């Protein structure tokens, strides 16, 4: 029997969340599938959205080429753009959109020998202080792109720093800067990420870029009504592989940090930080066994965790365990580990992924 640990990915839930983003934004939706679709499997997720997605977004050229190899024909936007002029041939050959965010990229693009029409996404740094032209240099960059014969379209974009903090005024400030510096420039815009789509209607534009919400996870640190509409796409499963009874005073796990205060039934679950379960999950972090929660005891190990089964008399070796999914949001586990859902999803490794509820797609012409 193989190790029972696996991720179950519901592709119909993915499509549901895509349509929800589309309904909220009323614009075109770019499905963000970078980082292997947050460990959900970029190729399979893109194929499941193939007939509905307006475009896909990835971080780098390698991720884009993997989608093209999987026969994804919709526009693919490379969010970090290119790093060297040697990439330009592949970008042109595979009809990729690129983000232009700095003078060096602009110079490389100007020096390239591209002949095919290309859409580019010109990024403004409105306060993230990461990628993008400053507001003062943005218009000049736009004019430089506009002068290139092969540029067919310039989409103006920015990225929010605090859209998930609902009372933070920085989002409004960023939006004001962006609108002021793009005023009068022709072309479509892309502003809203998941949090922007949900909570900032004024940020919804012609192109919108949901990431986390596609996978059924709220982007907000506090509870939000959107959780009632999102459908979790991934369920992380394992099983009990050992059970033992320990007396009062016995310790559990590395460092002996957890000490039994009562006779305790300890269950060992086949998952650990090498699989992506958070190393710093606190004691008391819950797993779900049937419809009952069992708390984590002791430290997370490389391949295993230990949970308190004392109050769950019917559990035995082989009993299934859910680490997150329906009725146990990944955001709850992230909170218990002092991290964010993005990190938990993206850190999954060595786990087999099983896909369910695959959509029936019409063959393309």
337-349: buried (b, 16+ CB within 10 Å) or exposed (e) per residue? bebbbbebbbbbe
Q: 130: which DSSP letter?
A: S
- Which residues are annotated as catalytic? 34, 254
Dihedral angle sign, alpha carbons of residues 42, 43, 48, 54: positive
68 contacts 89 by C-beta, under 8 angstroms: no
Parallel, antiparallel or unpaired: strands 292-297 and 286-289: antiparallel
47's enclosing H/E stretch is: helix 42-48
- Whether the CB-CB separation of 295 and 286 falls below 8 Å is answered with yes
Count of CA atoms in the C-beta half-sphere (13 A) of 235 = 18
DSSP 124: B
d(CA 196, CA 168): 13
CA 56/CA 67 separation, integer angstroms: 9
């Amino acid at each position: 029997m193989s190790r029972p640990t696996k991720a179950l990915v519901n592709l119909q839930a993915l499509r549901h969340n895509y349509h929800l983003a589309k309904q909220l934004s009323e614009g075109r939706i770019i499905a963000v599938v970078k980082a292997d679709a947050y460990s959900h499997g970029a190729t399979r997720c893109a194929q499941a959205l193939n007939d509905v997605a307006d475009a896909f977004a990835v971080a780098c050229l390698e991720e884009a080429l993997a989608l093209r190899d999987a026969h994804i024909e919709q526009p693919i936007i490379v969010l970090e753009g290119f790093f060297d002029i040697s990439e330009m041939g592949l970008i042109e050959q595979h009809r990729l959109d690129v983000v232009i965010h700095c003078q060096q990229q602009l110079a490389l693009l100007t020096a390239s020998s591209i002949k095919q029409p290309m859409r580019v996404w010109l990024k403004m740094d409105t306060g993230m202080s990461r990628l993008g032209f400053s507001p003062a240099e943005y218009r000049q960059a736009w004019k430089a792109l506009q002068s290139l014969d092969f540029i067919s379209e310039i989409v103006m974009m920015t990225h929010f720093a605090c859209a998930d903090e609902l009372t933070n005024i920085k989002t409004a400030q960023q939006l004001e800067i962006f609108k002021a510096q793009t005023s009068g420039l022709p072309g479509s815009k892309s502003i809203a990420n998941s949090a922007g789509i949900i909570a900032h209607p004024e940020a919804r534009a012609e192109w919108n870029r949901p990431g986390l919400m596609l996978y059924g996870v709220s982007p907000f640190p506090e509870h939000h009504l959107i959780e009632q509409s999102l459908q979790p796409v991934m369920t992380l499963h394992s099983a009990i592989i050992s059970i033992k009874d320990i007396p009062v005073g016995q310790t559990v796990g590395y460092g002996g940090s957890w000490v039994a205060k009562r006779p305790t039934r300890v269950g060992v679950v086949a998952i650990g930080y090498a699989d992506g379960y958070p190393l710093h999950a606190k004691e008391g972090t819950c797993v779900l066994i049937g419809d009952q929660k069992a708390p984590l005891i002791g430290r997370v190990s490389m391949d295993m965790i230990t949970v308190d089964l004392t109050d769950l008399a019917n559990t035995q070796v082989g009993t299934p365990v859910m680490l997150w999914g329906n009725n146990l949001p990944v955001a709850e586990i992230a909170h218990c580990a002092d991290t964010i859902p993005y990190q938990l999803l993206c850190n999954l490794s060595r786990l087999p992924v099983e896909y369910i509820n695959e959509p029936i797609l019409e063959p393309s012409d």
